[in-house]
């Protein structure tokens, strides 16, 4: 039962991510921020720690210069974070993203 609920949440989050991916270049920074905040909140509510950390990063960096690159990088790592069930994956995903950006 819990696995089914988590799969439903992952599907809902996946739909939100797909929308951001499709519209990332045309979305205003404030819209990206709001969408990432909603994903972060949903991920936190359901214990998806790695995804929560990645969405938190995307939310905060959406309003900064260079937000397109940061958003694209976050979206490129989102599948790994979405599939994660391990809290230690949060650091792994964020570290991989940091290496790519710097």
pLDDT tens per residue, range 11-39: 999 999 899 889 888 889 999 999 999 99
Nearest to 36 by CA among 18, 48, 54: 54
Identify the sign of the CA torsion 42, 40, 50, 75. positive
Q: What is the predicted pLDDT for the residue at 73?
A: 80
* CA angle (99 as vertex; 27, 35 as ends), nearest 5: 25
Instruction: Quote the pLDDT of residue 72.
Output: 83
Is pTM beyond 0.95? Reply is no
Residue 102 has what pLDDT? 61
């Amino acid at each position: 039962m819990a696995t089914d609920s988590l799969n439903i949440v992952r599907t809902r989050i996946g739909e939100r991510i797909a929308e951001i991916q499709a519209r990332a270049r045309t979305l205003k920074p404030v819209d990206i921020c709001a969408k990432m905040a909603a994903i972060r909140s949903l991920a936190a509510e359901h214990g998806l720690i790695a995804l929560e950390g990645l969405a938190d990063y995307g939310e905060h960096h959406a309003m900064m210069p260079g937000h397109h690159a940061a958003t694209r990088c976050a979206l490129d790592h989102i599948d790994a974070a979405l599939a994660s069930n391990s809290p230690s994956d949060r650091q792994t995903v964020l570290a991989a993203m940091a290496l790519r950006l710097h």
